[in-house]
Amino acid sequence: MASISALVEAFMVSERGVANILPSESVTAQAVAATRFYAGFASLESPPTDGAEIAGLVELSVSEWAEIRPLFVLYVERETALQIEATRGMGADVFGRSTSEVGAEISQLEADFPRRVFFQPIITV
């Protein structure tokens, strides 16, 4: 198990490197948002203690991260697109997908999340 902050750090160093324009706080916020969405449909193996909110220190299992990661990556891409589109007024060239394109993919993934992550063990009598 690894904390959300550690998973974000690994993502930023190993997968995005210099291509990432967002500060680590913004990327962590996207991971927390994706984890909160996941927690709406499935129980975390290591939930926050004492009624605390989900934050960067929450530990995620490999299987939880496997389900959360695609949504997290899309959230990061949308946030990046927002930042890039904001520079359009200063004459910068916009590259990558637009926020609406990424938003449509997020909506599709979020709509499928209940089916993908919900689990109820079968009990026979």
Is the pLDDT score of 92 beyond 90? no
Mean pLDDT throughout 34-38?
96
Q: What is residue 4's predicted lDDT score, i.e. its pLDDT?
A: 96
| Ordered DSSP codes for the chain | -EEHHHHHHHIIIIIIGGG--S-HHHHHHHHHHHHHHHHTTS--SSPPSTTPPP-TT-EE-HHHHHHHHHHHHHHHHHHHHHHHHHTGGGTPPP-S--HHHHHHHHHHHHHHHHHHH--------
pLDDT band at 91 (very low <50, low <70, confident <90, very high): confident
pLDDT band at 86 (very low <50, low <70, confident <90, very high): confident
Q: What is residue 75's predicted lDDT score, i.e. its pLDDT?
A: 98
